Structure 1
Amino acid sequence: MFKDARDYQIVFLTTFLGLGIMTRDWSVKPELIFTLISSCCLTQLLLTRLLKPSDNLLLSLKSALISSLGLALLLRADRVSTMILAGSLAIASKFIFTSDKKHWFNPANFGIIAALVLTPDAWVSPGQWGDDWWYLLLFIGLGGIVLQRVGRWDTSVAFVGSYALLEIARNIWLGWTWDVCFHKLTSGSLLLFALFMITDPRSIPNARSTRIVWAIAIAILTFILRNYFYINEAIFIALFTISPLTVILDKLWIAPHFNWRSFNRIESI
C-alpha cells in the first residue's frame, strides 16, 4: 500500500499509541507527546543540515518520527523539559555515537536511558499494556509485518525465546503457578521492545549468527536485572549496555551492511 515501507511502522506505532491512550486509560498529556515529537524532528532537521547535508530530509524526518513515537509509547514524565531532553538526545546519539555508517545505540533506547539518568521525573511502566491476549495478537501481527520487511525475525526470536526459557525454568524451580510466568511473558512493553526496538537494523550486528548471540546476551542480562536486582527498566538497561558490542562484533564477523535503498525496508524505533 505504501511505497516507502517506513510508513507502515509510523502507522503501526501511531495505532499502538492511540490504543494505549483510549483503551488503557493512560494519563498522557497531549502537550508532552507534541513536545517529544517536535524535539525529535527539529533535532534531526538541524543535525542533518549541519552534519549530513546530502541526506534526504524527508527520510530523515521519518526516522525521527519513528523514534519519537517509540519514546511516546514507552517513556513517561511530568515535565516538558524532560521530554525535550529525551527527544533531543535520542536523535543526537545517532550523529555522535556512530562508526562505519552505523549508530551504536537505538535512538529511542538512548533517549529513555538519558531521561532516567539525567532527570528526576522520568520513568517507564513495563506493565502499562496489561496482559490482555488481544494485545498480544495485535503486536505479533503488526510487528510481524514490520520484521518481514526488515528481515530481522532472527533477533526477535532469539531474544524472546531465550528470555522465555529462563523465565520458565525459574518458574519451575520456584514452584510458582504458570500465571506468574504468563504475566511476565505477555507484557505489552516487552513485546514492543522485542518487535520494534531490538530489531533496529542500523544498531544491531550485521551477521545473523552474531545477532542471535547478541540478542541472547540481552535476554540473559534482562533476566538477571529483573529477577535478582528488581529493576523495572531491565530490558532498556540491558540493550543500552550491550549495544556498543555491535561495533566489535561487526569487525570480527564481516557481513553486508543493511542498506535502505537496496532493501526498501523500514527502520526500527
Structure 2
Amino acid sequence: MKKLSIPPGLIGPVLITAVVVAAHISFGILDGWEKFAAALSAAVVAELLLHRMVTGKWRNLSSAYISGNSAGILVRSPMIWPFALCAAISIASKYVFRYKGTHLWNPTNFGIVVMLLIASDSMAVLSIQWGSNMWAMLAIWVVGLLVISKVKLFHVCAVYIVSFVGFAWLRSVLTDSVFITEVAPLTGPMYQLFVLFMITDPKTTLSTKNGRMAVAFLIAFAEFFFRMGEAVYAPFYALFIVGPIALIWEKWSKDRQAALSTPAVPGNA
C-alpha cells in the first residue's frame, strides 16, 4: 500500500487551508467571508498580472493562495479595501523589492507591516488566542510541524519557539509579569501563521541550516525588545527587520568569498 504523500508545491496551500478551516470552525476567526474573498482574489489577480508583465509567463498560484489566505485571516477592519490592499501589496513586494534575483521579505509580513504604517487608522491585525479551544490549537501545531519537518524546516520552528519561550521567561522576570501571560501569544492563530508560513518561507530563508537557525533566534531576540517596548505586533516588526538584513548579508558574503577565491588574471606584458 502506497503512503499518502502531498506534492511539495501543495504542502503550503493544504496546510494553510487546514489552519483557516479549523480556526473558523473552532473560533469563527474570519472577519467575514466577503473580506476573505477580497484578500484572496486580490492576491491571485496581482500575482497573475505582475508575473505576466515581468516574465511574460503565467505563474503557479500557490504563493498567491497562501498570501491571500494569510491576509484574509490576519487583517481586521470594518471595511473591505484593507484586505484587498494588504494582499496586493504583499504580492507586489516580490516583484519590486529584490536583491540579486530574489525578493527580500516574506510577502505577507511585508504587506502587514506596510499596512500598519500607512493605514493603522483603518485596520488592525488579529491578535487573539484560541481560548478554550486548545485541542484545535494543538492539532494544527502537530500537523503543521509534521508537515514542516517533511520539507526539512522543522529546525527553524523549533529554534524560534524555544527562543520565544526563553525570552518570555526573561520578560516575566524583568517586568514582574506572569510567565504564562508572556507565553500565551504563542497559542494563537496569528503565531501559527507566523511560525508555519512566514519564518519558514523557503524563498526568504537562508541557504544553510545553521544560518536559518541563527536567523530564527535573532527574530525572537529582536521581538523581545519590541515586546519590552509594548509593541503589539512585535513578531511582524522583528521579521521585517531581521529577514532582509540576513538575506543581503548572506548573498554579499557569498559574492565576497567567490571574488576572493577567484585567481587574478595576469595582465599582458
- Answer yes or no: same fold by TM over 0.5: yes
Alignment of 1:23 onto 2:26: yes
Q: Which moved more, 1:232-241 or 1:206-215?
A: 206-215
CA contact 2:160–2:217 (8 Å) conserved in 1? yes
- CA RMSD after TM alignment: 2.2
Cα distance in 2 for residues equivalent to 1:182 and 1:83 = 28
**What corresponds to 2:149 in structure 1?**
148
* Deviation per residue, 1:141-182 (Å, 9 max, x gap): 221233123321222112111111111233345555553344
CA separation of 1:16 and 1:231: change in aligned 2, threshold 3 A: same
Alignment of 1:237 onto 2:233: no
**What corresponds to 1:208 in structure 2?**
209
* Deviation per residue, 1:156-215 (Å, 9 max, x gap): 112111111111233345555553344244333223311221100101111222212211
| Equivalent residue letter for 1:28 | D
Residues 91-130 of structure 1 mapped to structure 2, 5 A cutoff: 91-119=91-119, 120-130=121-131
Alignment of 1:33 onto 2:36: yes
CA contact 1:74–1:125 (8 Å) conserved in 2? yes
CA contact 2:29–2:73 (8 Å) conserved in 1? no
Alignment of 1:51 onto 2:54: yes
Q: CA deviation at 1:126?
A: 2.0
**What corresponds to 1:247 in structure 2?**
248
Structure 2 SS opposite 1:93: helix
Structure 2 SS opposite 1:202: helix
CA contact 1:74–1:189 (8 Å) conserved in 2? yes
Residues 63-212 of structure 1 mapped to structure 2, 5 A cutoff: 63-119=63-119, 120-130=121-131, 132-172=133-173, 176-212=177-213
CA contact 1:5–1:149 (8 Å) conserved in 2? no
Q: CA deviation at 1:3?
A: 5.7
* Deviation per residue, 1:21-68 (Å, 9 max, x gap): 2321336121111111111000100011111224x53x2x12111111
| Equivalent residue letter for 2:54 | L
Cα distance in 2 for residues equivalent to 1:161 and 1:237 = 19
Cα distance in 1 for residues equivalent to 2:175 and 2:83 = 40
**What corresponds to 2:263 in structure 1?**
none
Number of aligned residues: 250
Q: Which moved more, 1:159-168 or 1:129-138?
A: 129-138
Q: CA deviation at 1:75?
A: 1.9
- Whose relative contact order is higher, 1 or 2, with alpha carbons under 8 Å and at least 6 apart? 1
Percentage of matched positions with identical amino acids: 25
Cα distance in 2 for residues equivalent to 1:138 and 1:115 = 31
Cα distance in 1 for residues equivalent to 2:55 and 2:158 = 34
Cα distance in 1 for residues equivalent to 2:107 and 2:73 = 14
Cα distance in 2 for residues equivalent to 1:160 and 1:47 = 35
**What corresponds to 1:13 in structure 2?**
16
| Equivalent residue letter for 1:33 | F
CA contact 1:41–1:64 (8 Å) conserved in 2? yes
Q: Which moved more, 1:185-194 or 1:101-110?
A: 185-194
Cα distance in 1 for residues equivalent to 2:85 and 2:122 = 12
* Deviation per residue, 1:104-163 (Å, 9 max, x gap): 000111111122112221111222433643234222222123312332122211211111
Stretches of structure 1 that go unaligned for 5 or more consecutive residues are: 255-269
Q: Which moved more, 1:2-11 or 1:141-150?
A: 2-11
Q: Which moved more, 1:230-239 or 1:176-185?
A: 176-185
Q: CA deviation at 1:91?
A: 0.4
Stretches of structure 2 that go unaligned for 5 or more consecutive residues are: 256-269
TM-score w.r.t. structure 1 length? 0.84
Q: Which moved more, 1:98-107 or 1:14-23?
A: 14-23
Cα distance in 1 for residues equivalent to 2:69 and 2:9 = 13
Work out which of the two has the higher radius of gyration on C-alpha atoms and give 1 or 2: 2
